[in-house]
C-alpha cells in the first residue's frame, strides 16, 4: 500500500541518520508550505519567543524533494508537525516519535461532494485524497461505514473535483474547504461531511521530534514547545497582527494563496485549538482521542498494534 | 433675496427676460435630455458590439493556438498508439513534437506504474524546451510521482482529451516555479482500448496571457482569464494573478452579481453583464475558450465607455449655461431698449400727474403699440388740458352763480321776519319761526305781524324748488303782506292772492298756504287753509292733534275765480299752534322713510308745554336725527305760537 511507503522510507533513512549531529540551531519544519496553519510558530519566531527561550530557531519549509519527514529522518530538521493518526502510523512502523506540543484539539477533516449529495450516500464514488497521506481517519471511516470508495490520490489542489474527474474530495476545513468555496462551489450541510460531527473528532496537528532527539535534547525540545505554545496564545489574542506575520511568510514562500484565504484559515485553525468540552486551548494530547484512534486504526488493520499513549507523549 | 424679488417686481424688462430664458431653458433641457438618452443608448450599443467583436477575435486567436496544440498532440498520440511496444520511441516522439512545434514548452508521454516492467514504477518520456534547446528525460521518480498530478489523472479519470487548469511548472527544488503552463492531455489506450497512460503537451501561458492582456478597447478597460475554479490566470493586478479567484472577495463581502458572473463563466457561458467591480460600474463581456473550461472576459468601466459622451455632455452643458446667461443678458438689453420709451413715458406721466399738464411728450417716431400708446396718451393729455380749462370756466361760472344764489338767499331770508322775540313789547304772544331751504333758495315762506291788536300770520309752500319757487315765494309773501295790512280776513286774503297769482301763471306754479289772524283781544282765530298741511294744535293736558279743518280749499295760483272759505277757532289762549310745511312730516332718511305725521304729533305732545322756540328747536333736532345724514329733500318751515 502506497500509504505506508513514505513512513517505510523514513524508517530506513532514520536508521542511518544519527540524531544530534547538527549544531545548536534548532530547525523546525512544518509539514506544508507557509500558511496560517503554522501561524503560532511564525509568531514565536517573529516576536522573539524562541530567542527568549534561549533557542536559535530556523523555520525551514519543506519542498517536493525535501518533505518534512525526510528532513527529520536525515536530522536536517529537529521538529515537525504531524497529524495524530499520521504520527501513530509512523510510530507503529517502528519510528519512535515524541509529541512535545499538541495544538489541535479537534478534527478539521471534511469530505466535500461535488454534487449536493451526502458523501455517505455515494457508495463507490471516486474520492480524491492527498497522495502524501493525512487520510487515515477517512480510510477508517470508509471501511467502518462500508462505503467502498474508489480512491484517487492527487498531489494537491482541487482541480480534479472541479473538472468532474472525481465525485468528492477529502479536504481540511481550514484549507481546501475555503479553496473550494473560493472556486465558487456551493458548500452546504448536505454535501459537506465533517468528521468531527460524526464521532470521529480526533486531534490533528502536534509538534513531534524523534524520541532519540528528545532523549538527548529534552530541555531544548520542551523549551521549543513552550515558546511555540506562547506563540499560539499570542496569535489567538492578536489575530490581525498574526495575519500580517503569516502573509509575510506566505510572500516569502511565494505560496499560491491570498490574504482572505489565510484569514479564514487562521480563524479556523484557532477554532480547532479550542477543546469542545472544556472550551479552552489545552495544548495537550487527550488519551481518549489516542485510544479512539487506536481502536479505529487497529479495527481497520491500519495499525499492527495499538500505539500506547505513553509512547507518544514526552515523559 | 428680498432685494432681487423687489427688483423683479419693479422691472418689467427683467421679468420678461427671465420668462424668455426660463422657457428657453425648458425647451433646451427637453431637447438635450432626449439627445443625451438617445446618444447614450447608441454609444452603449456601439461599445457592446465593439467589445463583442474584440472578444470574438481574441478568443479566436487563442483558440487557433490551442487547436494547433491539440492537433499536434493528436498526431503524436496516433504515433504513440502504433508503437506501444517500443518504449524508447516515446522519447523520440516527445522530442519531435517539440522540435516541430516551437510554441510548445514540453511533452510527457507517461504510463501507468510498472507498465513497462523493465522501466520499473516510473516511465514518463518527457521533453522540454530549455531556452531553445530541446532536452529529453524520464521524469518519474519518488519525488515526482507524476501519476498523482492533474495533467496525468484528468485524462485518465475523464477518459477523454482535456485541458488542465494552468499550473506552475514542476521544479524539484521548489514546489512552485515562476513559469505558468497549461497542458493538453489525452489518454493513451492499448489495442484493447484499455487506459495505459497519458500524453500531455504543455504550452506556456505567457503568449496567451500577453495576447489576452493586450486587449484593451478602452483606456481603463482590461481583460481577464479565469480557470475552471474561477482563478485569475490573466489579470492586470498581479496580486490577484494565480492567487485569487473571481469569488475570493465575495468570501468577505458577499456580492451576488459577481458570484453570478463567476458561475456563468465557469459554466462556459457567453454573454455580457453590467455590475460593480472594484468600486466602479462596469460592463463585462465574457466568452469561453473552447472546451478548456477557461473563460476570457473584457471588463470595461462604464466611465470609459461613456467618456467621450460625458465630455460632450459637459461641453454642451457648459455652452448651454453660457448661452442662457448670454441670452438673459441680450434679452434684458433688447427688452430694456424696446421698453425705454415706456420708461420715458412713465417718467413724463409722473411729471404730468404732479400737475405739470403742459409737459410736452416728445414724438418717438414709433408706429408700434408703444407709438400708439404714446399718441393715445398725448391725445388724452390734450383732452385733459382742454377739459380742465372748461372745468375752470365752469367752476368760475358756478361760483358766480353760487354767489348770486347766496345773495338771493340772503334777500329771501330777509323777506321773512327773523328777529326774535318777535314782539318784545308784548308778553302775551310767544312766537317763533324758522325757515331752512333745501337748496340755496327755497319755495317756503312764512310771515306774521300784529296790526290793530290783530296778529296776522301765514305759512306757505310753493310748488317746486330753487330759484323759480323762491321768486314765486317772494311774490306770494309780498301779496300776503299787502292784503293782510289792508285788514282783510284770511279767506279774502287767500282770494286776493289767488286772483293775483293765477293771472299770467305760465309756469303753472302754485302755493299751498295756511293763512290766519287772531284777535288778540278775544283770542279768536280765523284761518283759511289753502291746500296746506293741517297745523298741529296742542291744548294743555291733551295730546297734540291736527287742527280740525272743515274747508281745505285749493292751493293758491291754480285757478282764478274760485271762492275760498275760512273758518274760526274761538279761544286760542294757552294753546300752542304749530304750522309747518311738508319738509317736516315728509323728511326722509337714507332709506327714504318719512318722518311721518305720527312722529310730529308725538313730538308735539311731548313738547307742548315748552316755549315756541324750544318746540321748534327740538323738532328740528328730531328731524335732523331722523334724516341720519341724508340731505334735506324739501324746504322746512316751522311757525309756532302760543297766546298767554
The answer to whether B154 contacts chain A (CB < 8 Å) is: yes
| Separation in Å, CA of B310 to nearest CA in chain A | 37
A132: closest chain B residue by CA: B148
Give me the residue from A154, A163, A179 closest to B158, CB to CB: A163
SS (H, E, C) B202-239: EEEHHHHHHHHHCCCCCCCCEEEEECCCCEEEECCCCC
pLDDT band, residue A11 (cuts 50/70/90): very low
Which of the residues A149, A178, A247, A260 would you substitute to probe the B interface, choosing the one with the greatest number of B C-beta atoms within 10 Å? A260
Task: Encode pLDDT of B506-537 as tens digits.
Answer: 888 899 999 999 999 999 999 999 999 999 99
Compute the 3-state secondary structure of chain B and give helix, strand, coil in percent, each to the nearest 5.
45, 25, 30
Residue ranges of chain A that CATH labels 3.40.190.10: 2-106+203-311, 109-197
Q: A258 to chain B: which residues are within 8 Å by CB?
A: 239-240, 243-244, 248
The answer to whether A163 contacts chain B (CB < 8 Å) is: yes
Distance CA B184, CA B294 (A): 13
Sequence-ordered alpha helix ranges (H) in B425-520 = 466-485, 490-502
Q: Say whether A182 and B145 touch across the interface (CB within 8 A).
A: no
Distance CA B334, CA B338 (A): 6
Task: Encode pLDDT of B262-307 as tens digits.
Answer: 999 999 999 999 999 888 899 999 999 988 999 999 999 988 888 8
Distance CA B530, CA A89 (A): 162
Half-sphere exposure of A222 (CA within 13 A, CB side): 8
Q: What average pLDDT does this structure show over B583-594?
A: 91
Q: What average pLDDT does this structure show over B635-640?
A: 92
SS (H, E, C) B71-118: HHHHHHHHHHHHCCCCHHHHHHHHHHHHHHCCCEEEEEEEECCCCCHH
**C-alpha cell of residue A140:** 477508517
A2-106+203-311 CATH choice from 3.30.420.40, 3.10.290.10, 3.40.710.10, 3.40.190.10:
3.40.190.10
**Residue whose cell numbers read 522540454:** B128
Give me the residue from A33, A182, A254 closest to B251, CB to CB: A182
Find out whether B195 and B159 touch, Cβ atoms under 8 Å. yes
Q: Tally A–B CB contacts below 8 A.
A: 105
| Contacts for B175 with CB less than 8 Å, ≥ 6 apart | A33, A63, A64
Q: Percent of chain A, pLDDT > 70?
A: 92
Find out whether A236 and A281 touch, Cβ atoms under 8 Å. yes
**B382 phi/psi in degrees, rounded to 5:** -65, -45
Q: What average pLDDT does this structure show over B449-462?
A: 92
**C-alpha cell of residue B567:** 273758518
Residue of B210, B188, B190 whose CA lies nearest to B198: B188
pLDDT value for B178: 59
| Contacts for A137 with CB less than 8 Å, ≥ 6 apart | A85, A107, A109, A195, A200, A202, A293, A296
| Separation in Å, CA of A163 to nearest CA in chain B | 7
Residue of A263, A282, A286, A275 whose CA lies nearest to A39: A263
The answer to whether B155 contacts chain A (CB < 8 Å) is: no
Beta strand A26-29 with A57-59 is parallel
| Contacts for A77 with CB less than 8 Å, ≥ 6 apart | A27, A28, A29, A60, A68, A71
Distance CA B400, CA A98 (A): 147
Quick one: A171 exposed, middle or buried, by C-beta within 10 A (0-12, 13-18, 19+)? buried
Quick one: B145 exposed, middle or buried, by C-beta within 10 A (0-12, 13-18, 19+)? buried
pLDDT value for B213: 86
| Separation in Å, CA of B230 to nearest CA in chain A | 6
Q: Percent of chain B, pLDDT > 90?
A: 48
A258: closest chain B residue by CA: B243
Element (H, E) at B308: helix B307-338
Q: A181 to chain B: which residues are within 8 Å by CB?
A: 247, 251
| Gyration radius of chain B over CA positions | 66
**What is the SS3 assignment for B300?**
strand
Long-range contacts of B102-106 (CB under 8 A, 24+ apart): B102/B129, B103/B65, B103/B68, B103/B69, B103/B203, B103/B207, B104/B69, B104/B72, B104/B129, B104/B201, B104/B202, B104/B203, B105/B129, B105/B169, B105/B179, B105/B181, B105/B202, B105/B203, B105/B204, B106/B169, B106/B181, B106/B201, B106/B202
Task: Encode pLDDT of A42-81 as tens digits.
Answer: 999 999 999 999 999 999 998 767 778 888 888 889 999 9
Find out whether B52 and B284 touch, Cβ atoms under 8 Å. no
Element (H, E) at B303: helix B302-305
The answer to whether B252 contacts chain A (CB < 8 Å) is: yes
Distance CA A315, CA B186 (A): 55
Give me the residue from A65, A160, A184 closest to B157, CB to CB: A160
Which of the residues B172, B247, B248, B295 would you substitute to probe the A interface, choosing the one with the greatest number of A C-beta atoms within 10 Å? B248
Distance CA B47, CA B310 (A): 14
Distance CA A66, CA A77 (A): 11
* Strands, E assignment, B437-572: 444-451, 454-462, 511-519, 524-530, 536-538, 545-546, 567-569
Beta strand A126-130 with A150-154 is parallel
Task: Encode pLDDT of B174-214 as tens digits.
Answer: 444 457 889 999 999 999 999 999 999 999 888 888 888 88
Q: What average pLDDT does this structure show over B561-589?
A: 90
Q: Say whether A183 and B231 touch across the interface (CB within 8 A).
A: yes
Q: Say whether B176 and A254 touch across the interface (CB within 8 A).
A: yes
The answer to whether B161 contacts chain A (CB < 8 Å) is: no
Whether cis (ω within 30° of 0) applies to the bond prior to B421 is yes
Other CB atoms within 10 A of residue B427 CB: 9
Q: What average pLDDT does this structure show over B542-568?
A: 90
**C-alpha cell of residue B409:** 338767499
**C-alpha cell of residue A177:** 474547504
Q: Say whether A162 and B165 touch across the interface (CB within 8 A).
A: yes
Q: B362 or B62, which is more confident?
A: B62
> Can you give the pTM of this predicted structure?
0.66
**Residue whose cell numbers read 487506459:** B195
Q: A256 to chain B: which residues are within 8 Å by CB?
A: 168, 176, 242-243
Q: Say whether A153 and B148 touch across the interface (CB within 8 A).
A: yes
Quick one: B492 exposed, middle or buried, by C-beta within 10 A (0-12, 13-18, 19+)? middle
**C-alpha cell of residue B563:** 271762492
Task: Encode pLDDT of A134-161 as tens digits.
Answer: 777 898 889 888 899 999 998 878 999 9
Q: A261 to chain B: which residues are within 8 Å by CB?
A: 248, 251
Q: Say whether B248 and A162 touch across the interface (CB within 8 A).
A: no
Rounded to the nearest 10°, the torsion over CA A291, A297, A299, A302 is -150
Other CB atoms within 10 A of residue B625 CB: 11
Q: Say whether B247 and A184 touch across the interface (CB within 8 A).
A: yes
Q: What average pLDDT does this structure show over B335-341?
A: 81
The answer to whether A65 contacts chain B (CB < 8 Å) is: yes
Q: B243 to chain A: which residues are within 8 Å by CB?
A: 256-258
| Separation in Å, CA of A65 to nearest CA in chain B | 5
A303 in the Ramachandran plot: left (φ > 0), alpha (ψ -120 to 50) or beta? Answer: beta
pLDDT band, residue B432 (cuts 50/70/90): very high
Q: Is residue A5 predicted with pLDDT exceeding 50?
A: no
ipTM of the assembly? 0.85
Task: Encode pLDDT of B22-42 as tens digits.
Answer: 898 899 889 889 988 998 899
pLDDT value for A8: 39
Give me the residue from B150, B153, B247 closest to A182, CB to CB: B247
Distance CA A86, CA A10 (A): 13
Q: Say whether B228 and A162 touch across the interface (CB within 8 A).
A: yes
The answer to whether B246 contacts chain A (CB < 8 Å) is: yes
Q: What average pLDDT does this structure show over A274-303?
A: 92
What is the CATH number that goes with domain A109-197?
Answer: 3.40.190.10
**Residue whose cell numbers read 291744548:** B539
Distance CA A250, CA A267 (A): 16
Q: Say whether B173 and A159 touch across the interface (CB within 8 A).
A: no
Which of the residues A12, A157, A176, A258 would you substitute to probe the B interface, choosing the one with the greatest number of B C-beta atoms within 10 Å? A258
**Residue ranges of B 267-306 with Cβ closer than 8 A to chain A:** 293
Find out whether A166 and A152 touch, Cβ atoms under 8 Å. yes
Cα B15 to chain centroid, rounded: 14
Rounded to the nearest 10°, the torsion over CA B391, B395, B396, B398 is 140
SS (H, E, C) B132-187: CEEEEEECCECCECHHHCHHHHHHHHHCCCEECCCEECCECCECCCCCEEEEEEEE
**Cross-strand pairs, B274:** B283
Find out whether B447 and B481 touch, Cβ atoms under 8 Å. yes
Q: Say whether A152 and B170 touch across the interface (CB within 8 A).
A: no
Q: A70 or A193, which is more confident?
A: A193
Amino acid at each position: 500500500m502506497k500509504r505506508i511507503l513514505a513512513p517505510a522510507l523514513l524508517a530506513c533513512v532514520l536508521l542511518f541518520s544519527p540524531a544530534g549531529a547538527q549544531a545548536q540551531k534548532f530547525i523546525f519544519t512544518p509539514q506544508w508550505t507557509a500558511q496560517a496553519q503554522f501561524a503560532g510558530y511564525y509568531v514565536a519566531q517573529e516576536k522573539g519567543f524562541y530567542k527568549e527561550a534561549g533557542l536559535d530557531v530556523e523555520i525551514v519549509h519543506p519542498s517536493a524533494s525535501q518533505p518534512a519527514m525526510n528532513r527529520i529522518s536525515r536530522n536536517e530538521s529537529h521538529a515537525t508537525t504531524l497529524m495524530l493518526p499520521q504520527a501513530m502510523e509512523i510510530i507503529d512502523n517502528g519510528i519512535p516519535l515524541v509529541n512535545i506540543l499538541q495544538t489541535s484539539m479537534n478534527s478539521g477533516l471534511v469530505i466535500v461532494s461535488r454534487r449536493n449529495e451526502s458523501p455517505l450516500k455515494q457508495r463507490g464514488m471516486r474520492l480524491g485524497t492527498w497522495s502524501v497521506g493525512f487520510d487515515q481517519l477517512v480510510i477508517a471511516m470508509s471501511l467502518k461505514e462500508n462505503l467502498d470508495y474508489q480512491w484517487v490520490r492527487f498531489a494537491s489542489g482541487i482541480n480534479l473535483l472541479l473538472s468532474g474527474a472525481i465525485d468528492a474530495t477529502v479536504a481540511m476545513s481550514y484549507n481546501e474547504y475555503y479553496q473550494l468555496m473560493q472556486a465558487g462551489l456551493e458548500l452546504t450541510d448536505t454535501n459537506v461531511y465533517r468528521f468531527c460531527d460524526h464521532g470521529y473528532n480526533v486531534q490533528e496537528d502536534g509538534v513531534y521530534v524523534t524520541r532519540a532527539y528528545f532523549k538527548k535534547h529534552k530541555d531544548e525540545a520542551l523549551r521549543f514547545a513552550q515558546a511555540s505554545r506562547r506563540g499560539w496564545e499570542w496569535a489567538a489574542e492578536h489575530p490581525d497582527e498574526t495575519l500580517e506575520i503569516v502573509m509575510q511568510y506566505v510572500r516569502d514562500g511565494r505560496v499560491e494563496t491570498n490574504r482572505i484565504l489565510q484569514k479564514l484559515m487562521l480563524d479556523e485553525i484557532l477554532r480547532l485549538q479550542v477543546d469542545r468540552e472544556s472550551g479552552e486551548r489545552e495544548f495537550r494530547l487527550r488519551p481518549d482521542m489516542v485510544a479512539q484512534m487506536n481502536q479505529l486504526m487497529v479495527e481497520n488493520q491500519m495499525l499492527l498494534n495499538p500505539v500506547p499513549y505513553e509512547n507518544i507523549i514526552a515523559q | 433675496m428680498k432685494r432681487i424679488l423687489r427688483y423683479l417686481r419693479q422691472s418689467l424688462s427683467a421679468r420678461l427676460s427671465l420668462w424668455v430664458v426660463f422657457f428657453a431653458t425648458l425647451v433646451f433641457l427637453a431637447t438635450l435630455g432626449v439627445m443625451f438618452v438617445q446618444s447614450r443608448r447608441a454609444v452603449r450599443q456601439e461599445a457592446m458590439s465593439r467589445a463583442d467583436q474584440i472578444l470574438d477575435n481574441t478568443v479566436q486567436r487563442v483558440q487557433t493556438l490551442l487547436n494547433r496544440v491539440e492537433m499536434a498532440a493528436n498526431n503524436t498520440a496516433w504515433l504513440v498508439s502504433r508503437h506501444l511496444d517500443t518504449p524508447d520511441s516515446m522519447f523520440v516522439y516527445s522530442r519531435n513534437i517539440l522540435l516541430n512545434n516551437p510554441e510548445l514548452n514540453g511533452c510527457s508521454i507517461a504510463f501507468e506504474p510498472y507498465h513497462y516492467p523493465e522501466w520499473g514504477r516510473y516511465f514518463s518520456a518527457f521533453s522540454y524546451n530549455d531556452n531553445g534547446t530541446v532536452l529529453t528525460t524520464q521524469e518519474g521518480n519518488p519525488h515526482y510521482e507524476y501519476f498523482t498530478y492533474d495533467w496525468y489523472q484528468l485524462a485518465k479519470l475523464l477518459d477523454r482529451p482535456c485541458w488542465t487548469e494552468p499550473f506552475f511548472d514542476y521544479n524539484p527544488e521548489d514546489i512552485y516555479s515562476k513559469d505558468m503552463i497549461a497542458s493538453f492531455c489525452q489518454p493513451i489506450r492499448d489495442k484493447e482500448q484499455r487506459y495505459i497512460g497519458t500524453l500531455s503537451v504543455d504550452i506556456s501561458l505567457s503568449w496567451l496571457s500577453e495576447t489576452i492582456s493586450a486587449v484593451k478597447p478602452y483606456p481603463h478597460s482590461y481583460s481577464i482569464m479565469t480557470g475552471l475554479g474561477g482563478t485569475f490566470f490573466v489579470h492586470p493586478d498581479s496580486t490577484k494573478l494565480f492567487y485569487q479567484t473571481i469569488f475570493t472577495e465575495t468570501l468577505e463581502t458577499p456580492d451576488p452579481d459577481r458570484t453570478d458572473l463567476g458561475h456563468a463563466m465557469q459554466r462556459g457561458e457567453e454573454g455580457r453583464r453590467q455590475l460593480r467591480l472594484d468600486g466602479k460600474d462596469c460592463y463585462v463581456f465574457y466568452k469561453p475558450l473552447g472546451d478548456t473550461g477557461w473563460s476570457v472576459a473584457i471588463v470595461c468601466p462604464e466611465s470609459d465607455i461613456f467618456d467621450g459622451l460625458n465630455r460632450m455632455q459637459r461641453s454642451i452643458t457648459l455652452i448651454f449655461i453660457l448661452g442662457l446667461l448670454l441670452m438673459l443678458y441680450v434679452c434684458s438689453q433688447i427688452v430694456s431698449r424696446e421698453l425705454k420709451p415706456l420708461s420715458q413715458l412713465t417718467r413724463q406721466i409722473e411729471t404730468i400727474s404732479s400737475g405739470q399738464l403742459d409737459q410736452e411728450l416728445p414724438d418717438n417716431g414709433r408706429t408700434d403699440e408703444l407709438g400708439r400708446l404714446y399718441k393715445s396718451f398725448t391725445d388724452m393729455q390734450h383732452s385733459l388740458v382742454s377739459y380742465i380749462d372748461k372745468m375752470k370756466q365752469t367752476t368760475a361760472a358756478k361760483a358766480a352763480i353760487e354767489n348770486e344764489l347766496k345773495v338771493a338767499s340772503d334777500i329771501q331770508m330777509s323777506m321773512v321776519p327773523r328777529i326774535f322775540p318777535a314782539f318784545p313789547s308784548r308778553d302775551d304772544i310767544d312766537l317763533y319761526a324758522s325757515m331752512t331751504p333745501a337748496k340755496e333758495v327755497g319755495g317756503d315762506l312764512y310771515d306774521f305781524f300784529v296790526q290793530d291788536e290783530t296778529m296776522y300770520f301765514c305759512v306757505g309752500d310753493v310748488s317746486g324748488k330753487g330759484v323759480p319757487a323762491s321768486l314765486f315765494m317772494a311774490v306770494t309773501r309780498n301779496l300776503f303782506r299787502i292784503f293782510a295790512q289792508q285788514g282783510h280776513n284770511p279767506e279774502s286774503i287767500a282770494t286776493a292772492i289767488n286772483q293775483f297769482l293765477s293771472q299770467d301763471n305760465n309756469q303753472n306754479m302754485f302755493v299751498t298756504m295756511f293763512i290766519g289772524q287772531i284777535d288778540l283781544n278775544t283770542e279768536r282765530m280765523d284761518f283759511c287753509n289753502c291746500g296746506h298741511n293741517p297745523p298741529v294744535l296742542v291744548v294743555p293736558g291733551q295730546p297734540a292733534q291736527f287742527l280740525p279743518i272743515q274747508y281745505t280749499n285749493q292751493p293758491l295760483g291754480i285757478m282764478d275765480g274760485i271762492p275760498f272759505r275760512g273758518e274760526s277757532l274761538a279761544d286760542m289762549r294757552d294753546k300752542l299752534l304749530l304750522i309747518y310745511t311738508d319738509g317736516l312730516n315728509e323728511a326722509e332718511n337714507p332709506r327714504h322713510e318719512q318722518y311721518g305725521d305720527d312722529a310730529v304729533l308725538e313730538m308735539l305732545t311731548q313738547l307742548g308745554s315748552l316755549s315756541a322756540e324750544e318746540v321748534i328747536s327740538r323738532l328740528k333736532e328730531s328731524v335732523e336725527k331722523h334724516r341720519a345724514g341724508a340731505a334735506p329733500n324739501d324746504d322746512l318751515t316751522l311757525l309756532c305760537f302760543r297766546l298767554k
